[in-house]
Amino acid sequence: MTCIKTLLLLLPLMAFCNATYADSWTITQSTSATSSSTTILQEGSSAGAVQAVNSINLNGLNSTVNDGSSQQFNGGENNLTLRQHNGTTSSIQAINRVYAHTINGLTQGARLVGGPQNLTFDQASNIGNSNTQSLNDATTSVTGTINKLAQSVLDTATVTMQMTQSAGTQNVQAGNLIKTGELSSTSGDVSQTVRIGIVKQVQSNTSQSIQSGNALVTLGGSTATGGTLTQSFEGSSFGFLGFTFTQTSVSNSVQARNYAGEAL
């Protein structure tokens, strides 16, 4: 009897401890891929798969990424390709990716130098649905918050960014991607910047899909809190050489330089 009473007393205490515990992390990640081109490939009916060069993957209930954290990628003078096909569904490709409940301070940077070279996002004609491709991806749980974040895609030469979506529903391609329901209300705390030479965006046979240099996809619908975001898409230091939008046989899909709104 004594043992049973003791156990009953301990159970509420254990539940209380589990409910209030939160993990907090300061993380620095960097990758230099300057000697050869980088290709990231998802195929063979992959589902719920994640590929990232630098990845922070914390729990969505109470985890925190502390101010001063960083993810950096240097691609050098090489091509960079992200490709999803062969029925891939609900999968993610990114260079820098973070998932957490709260982001209190993170810098994500993807840098391409020298050149010219090609930056290619490809979601092929046999792709499934609900996939994302990005260079920088910052995602929280539906109840999560981003208080401070800076995402950047920068070139120092004539880089061509080619985005191609050839099928599928609710697929996303973006240079910088944020998915959350709440941002800081202070101007300048959360920003997305793309500086690139040439941009070509092509959509065909897609439904409810998004292509954008910078993208905020809000979570939570009517429960989203909102906040303040600065998005900047600009020509490279060598001069902006042009961009093209092409849509063919698409339904409820969006092409943009900067996008902020709900998933389609």
The pLDDT of residue 15 is above 80 = no
The pLDDT of residue 237 is above 60 = no
pLDDT for the residue numbered 241: 60
**16 — pLDDT class (breaks 50, 70, 90):** very low
Sign of CA dihedral 113, 111, 31, 50: negative
β pairing state of 172-180 and 198-204? unpaired
The pLDDT of residue 109 is above 90 = yes
Tell me how far apart the alpha carbons of residues 157 and 115 are, in angstroms, rounded to a whole number.
Answer: 6
Query: Containing domain of residue 183, as a range?
Result: 22-251
Instruction: Note whether residue 7 is domain-resident.
Output: no
Instruction: Note whether residue 264 is domain-resident.
Output: no
| Number of domains comprising the chain | 1
- Of the candidates 145, 171, 138, which has an alpha carbon nearest to the alpha carbon of residue 54? 138
Instruction: Note whether residue 115 is domain-resident.
Output: yes
The pLDDT of residue 4 is above 80 = no
Instruction: Note whether residue 17 is domain-resident.
Output: no
pLDDT for the residue numbered 115: 61
Mean pLDDT of the 18-40 span: 84
Instruction: Note whether residue 88 is domain-resident.
Output: yes
pLDDT for the residue numbered 112: 85
Q: Tokens 């941009």: give the residue.
A: 199
Count the Cβ atoms, other than its own, within 10 Å of residue 222: 4
Q: Which of 72-81, 111-120, 148-157 has the lowest mean pLDDT?
A: 111-120
Tokens at 24, concatenated: 């907090």
Return the amino acid letter for 181: G
Instruction: Note whether residue 6 is domain-resident.
Output: no
**Residue with the larger pLDDT of the pair 172 and 1:** 172
pLDDT for the residue numbered 114: 63
Residue 107, CA distances (Å) to 44, 73, 145, 153, 253 in order: 33, 11, 16, 11, 30
Tell me how far apart the alpha carbons of residues 112 and 51 are, in angstroms, rounded to a whole number.
Answer: 20
Count the Cβ atoms, other than its own, within 10 Å of residue 93: 26
Mean pLDDT of the 2-31 span: 57
Instruction: Note whether residue 213 is domain-resident.
Output: yes
Q: Which of 8-17, 135-144, 216-225 has the highest mean pLDDT?
A: 135-144
pLDDT for the residue numbered 14: 36
The pLDDT of residue 145 is above 60 = yes
Extract the runs of DSSP E, i.e. beta strands, from 169-253.
172-180, 190-196, 198-204, 210-218, 230-235, 242-248
Helix%, strand%, coil% for the chain, nearest 5: 10, 55, 35
pTM over 0.85: yes
Instruction: Note whether residue 238 is domain-resident.
Output: yes
**5 — pLDDT class (breaks 50, 70, 90):** very low
Q: In sequence order, what are the residues at sequence separation of 6 or more whose Cβ sits closer than 8 angstroms to the Cβ of residue 3?
A: none
